[in-house]
Amino acid sequence: MLAEGFGDLETEGCGYCAAASDPPVVQLQDLSERPWPPYPGEYLLGNLLREQVEVVNLVGVTDIEFILQAVRECGSRAVPPLSDCAADAPAFERIQARAPKRLKLDPAGFFILLPQFEKGMIICEHYTSDGRLTHVIEGRRASFIAATAVERGLISQLDHAAYLGRELAKAEIALATGAVYEQDAALGSLPPEAAANPEESSCSPLPQMAT
């Protein structure tokens, strides 16, 4: 059979062996019988695979018999199963995602996002905790706006940074697709009260200030 980037591909024993004049021959273990995913990290699996790769340089070789002989020799070599390498994998903790136990407001303030569809821009307003507007960040890319907010010191909590990134990504998708954006709501849908009053702003209202 044929593999992309290689010539004829032959299977012998427990391994796959490819031979071609360009690029070099590569020998890999057959992974078709292994459960997937075997490890909770693609980079870890990639490292284990690289340890089982043997490169045979046949660049410039055009003798078919010579190439086939290299394939046979490559396929006859024993390849240890990946399961034998699992013992060397670093220990890790598997954590079940859950909702936060409590909401702690960021003392640095809060944000109001205003996508402007006619200009293709996202307006990001930053307010202090007492409702005073201090900064207005404008941009087309969610990542640039988030980076600017961080560089300006407008965020002091990791959960707030994650929230802003999530909302900015929603706003950028809304600009690209024309979907309705509602801060703190699902993208592309309006809550019943907002749909009944389309003249009202679709942005989260300012918090009530204690008197």
Residue 157 CB coordination number (10 Å): 13
Contact of 122 with 171, CB cutoff 8 Å: yes
DSSP, collapsed to helix, strand or coil, labels residue 115 as: strand
Q: Supply the pLDDT for residue 198.
A: 46
> What residues contact 198, with CB distance under 8 A and at least 6 apart?
none
* HEC letters along 4-26: CCCCEEEEECCEEEECCCCCCEE
What angle, 0 to 180 degrees and rounded to 10, lies between the N-to-C axes of helices 158-177 and 142-151?
Answer: 150
Q: Supply the pLDDT for residue 119.
A: 93
Contact of 205 with 184, CB cutoff 8 Å: no
E runs forming strands in the chain? 9-12, 15-18, 25-29, 54-56, 110-116, 121-127, 133-139
Euclidean distance between CA atoms 125 and 42, whole angstroms? 38
Euclidean distance between CA atoms 77 and 13, whole angstroms? 9
Q: Supply the pLDDT for residue 10.
A: 40
Q: What is the pLDDT along the chain (211 residues), one digit of tens a residue?
A: 333 333 444 433 333 344 444 444 444 445 445 554 544 555 566 666 776 777 888 999 999 999 999 888 888 877 767 655 555 666 778 888 888 888 789 999 999 999 999 999 999 999 999 999 999 999 999 999 999 999 999 999 999 999 999 999 999 999 999 999 999 888 765 555 554 554 444 344 444 333 3
Q: Supply the pLDDT for residue 92.
A: 75
